[in-house]
Amino acid sequence: QKEVEQNSGPLSVPEGAIASLNCTYSDRVSQSFFWYRQYSGKSPELIMSIYSNGDKEDGRFTAQLNKASQYVSLLIRDSQPSDSATYLCAVYTGGFKTIFGAGTRLFVKA
Amino acid sequence: DAGVIQSPRHEVTEMGQEVTLRCKPISGHDYLFWYRQTMMRGLELLIYFNNNVPIDDSGMPEDRFSAKMPNASFSTLKIQPSEPRDSAVYFCASSLELRLADYNEQFFGPGTRLTVL
């Protein structure tokens, strides 16, 4: 079982809709959780971090964490074509090691 | 700030040749990471350094891979001899010292796309 699992997609949503990206992780001692966005041919960039159970909102992005279920998600409201990218879920388990999921490709149709 | 700098951006080489990838982290960052990204395996951590010292190299796939950080502003990842299965995008990232209850955001360089024929 992979340590961080994501659906590879592609996830296709119409412009203006809510995109929901999901991630599960296997290590119960995981401390911190992150979403990175990676445009095609570019490097990953951090867009959201979450440390506690519940929701965290930043603009159109909402991260949700449920440690009991070992589940973290990212919601993108009012999706725009510019949101089309691969979204990497990342989990920090300590020792300065961050484990990345394989990513979910999101396509927002104009 | 110039961000993390990597060179070359693209490298095409033949099987058996030595390949050296270079990275300049963001000035003042204490940690440097080397990652490899492929479609099949995603983004994998190869090795990371703290204050120029290798801390964890458990992700280095084989003895053909080696990494050095001779000073705070320069690191290399070397593959010798290279094989076609080493073809991937190699990213270097850097971050500041971790503070209690904080996350050391990793800033990624543009990557080096390596193709081994």
Q: pLDDT averaged over chain A?
A: 92
Pairing of strands B53-56, B42-50: antiparallel
The mean per-residue pLDDT over the stretch B28-53 comes to 92
B30-56 mean pLDDT: 92
Counting every residue written for chain A, the total comes to 110
Least CA distance to B50: which residue of chain A?
A96
Quote the Cα angle for B85-B88-B94, to 5°. Answer: 135
In this structure, what DSSP letter does residue A33 have? E
Chain A residue nearest residue B109, CA to CA: A43
Q: Which residue's entry shows tokens 């445009």?
A: A39
Residue B97 has pLDDT above 80, yes or no: no
Mean pLDDT over the full length of chain B: 92
Contact B42 A97 (CB under 8 A): no
Pick from B23, B34, B39, B106 the residue to mutate for testing the A interface (most A CBs within 10 Å). Answer: B106
pLDDT band, very low/low/confident/very high, at B101 (cuts 50, 70, 90): very low
- Interface membership of B5 toward A (CB under 8 Å): no
Query: Which residues in chain A come in under a pLDDT of 70?
Result: 1-2
Q: Which two tokens stand for residue B63?
A: 């003895």
Chain A residue with CA closest to B103: the answer is A32
Q: What are phi and psi of A61, to 5 degrees?
A: -105, 135
